[in-house]
Amino acid sequence: MPVVVQKYGGSSVADPERIKAVADRVRDARDEGLSLVVVVSAMGETTDRLATLAATVSSDPHPREMDMLLTAGERIAMALLAMALHDRGVPAVSYTGSQAGILTDSSHGEAQITRITGERVQGSLTEGKVVIVAGFQGVDPDRREITTLGRGGSDTTAVALAEALAAEACEILTDVVGVFTADPRIVPNARKLDRVSYDDMLTLAEGGAGVLHPSSVRYARDHGVPVHVRSSFTDQPGTWIETTAAEIPLVGIAHRLDGGRGVCTLVGGGAPELGVEAARVLDESGVAAEITQGGDRWVRLEVSAPDLEKSVRRIHGALLEAEVAP
């Protein structure tokens, strides 16, 4: 059976009802003939709560002990999902990062994956089981110490497992239906993109688009892993991130705060001209903008922090909506 790696984020497994809904989805995918590896994040805001808990007992928590603490969140989620699958008659087994053979360097809190052995994962797939793996974590084989991959590490876990298992695809299932031309919470009429190239997606992610962590996009690009970003709450197709995706003339706009300043990153062809036009649009709206960086397919503008969301809406309305206007 073809292998597919699915990753469910914290919002998708935030409570028991959502975990059961994920179990239903996994069961249905298995019934369609897929061999599944499921990577899970911690439930909801568990990681933040654990970090806050650490701060109540220590002013400077030791990095090793923080990794021991924070990895508990994913272990809880993986075990609960395995239980829910068992209740549905689906054979399943859960593995921590170390049990799954995710080997890393020795950097606590920001470890890099060096290799995935995956023997236990492959063996369980051969036995017909759904394999559930705790995201965000691995093990330093030299010191036999648990490590974490940093924020967004579950995305990277899923992509790395997909590459190691030669999976058909890596599905990142989250609370949005794909990658949009802008954050739909700020721009309600932002459009979902069907396909985006690795490089364009990496630029969006580094610019603040939170749907994928930059390290996971970089790993997917470097190893040629097709990534499908889609919603865990619907069955509609999402956005494919892959080498063969055509470079769209104007992809989208990402935004983030950086040191008290707002940063807008426009991605698409003709970046220098895009930056000039975006600055003009903002100037006409009474927003002072400065072009700070750029490349062949991206340009970055800085605005004041209070003007950031307004700037995203203005640029999107003037450039990205005009791009598809009849």
30-89 tens-digit pLDDT: 999 999 999 999 999 999 999 999 999 999 999 999 999 999 999 999 999 999 999 999
Confidence band for 145, pLDDT divided at 50, 70 and 90: very high
What does the pLDDT average to over 111-131?
97
Q: Identify the CA nearest to 204 among candidates 215, 194, 190, 214.
A: 214
**Tokens 């559930």, residue?**
132
The pLDDT, as a whole number, for residue 245 is 66
What does the pLDDT average to over 313-324?
83
For residue 227, the cross-strand partners are 170, 241
The pLDDT, as a whole number, for residue 246 is 66
Report helix, strand or coil for 77.
helix
- 209 contacts: CB under 8 Å, gap ≥ 6: 179, 183, 252, 254
Domain boundary assignment for the chain: 3-175, 250-324
Amino acid in position 306: P
The pLDDT, as a whole number, for residue 193 is 95
Instruction: Give the residue with greater pLDDT, 261 vs 175.
Output: 261
The pLDDT, as a whole number, for residue 272 is 82
User: How many other β-carbons are positioned within 10 Å of the β-carbon of residue 185?
Assistant: 10
pLDDT at position 324 over 70? no
- 146, exposed or middle or buried, with CB in 10 Å at 0-12, 13-18, 19+? buried
Are residues 216 and 200 in contact, defined by beta-carbon separation less than 8 angstroms? Answer: no
Q: How does pLDDT run across 269-318, given as a tens digit for each residue?
A: 888 888 999 999 999 999 999 999 999 899 999 999 999 999 999 999 99
Q: What share of the chain in percent tops pLDDT 70?
A: 97
Q: Hey, what are 297's tokens?
A: 């397919």
Give kind and range of the element (H or E) at residue 230. strand 227-231
What does the pLDDT average to over 262-266?
97
Amino acid in position 181: T
Confidence band for 243, pLDDT divided at 50, 70 and 90: confident
The pLDDT, as a whole number, for residue 152 is 84
Report helix, strand or coil for 268.
strand
What does the pLDDT average to over 255-260?
93
Beta strand 92-95 with 137-140: parallel, antiparallel or unpaired?
Answer: unpaired
Q: Which of the 8 DSSP states describes residue 262?
A: E
Q: What's the mean per-residue pLDDT of the chain?
A: 94
Confidence band for 325, pLDDT divided at 50, 70 and 90: very low
Q: Does domain 250-324 have CATH number 3.30.70.260?
A: yes
Beta strand 169-174 with 102-104: parallel, antiparallel or unpaired?
Answer: unpaired
Rounded to the nearest 5°, which phi and psi values hold at 15? -150, 170
The pLDDT, as a whole number, for residue 270 is 83
The pLDDT, as a whole number, for residue 180 is 96
Distance (Å, rounded) from C-alpha 27 to C-alpha 204? 33
Distance (Å, rounded) from C-alpha 307 to C-alpha 16? 39
Confidence band for 323, pLDDT divided at 50, 70 and 90: low
For residue 120, the cross-strand partners are none
The pLDDT, as a whole number, for residue 296 is 87
Distance (Å, rounded) from C-alpha 106 to C-alpha 40? 23
Distance (Å, rounded) from C-alpha 186 to C-alpha 261? 18
CATH fourth-level superfamily of 3-175: Acetylglutamate kinase-like (3.40.1160.10)
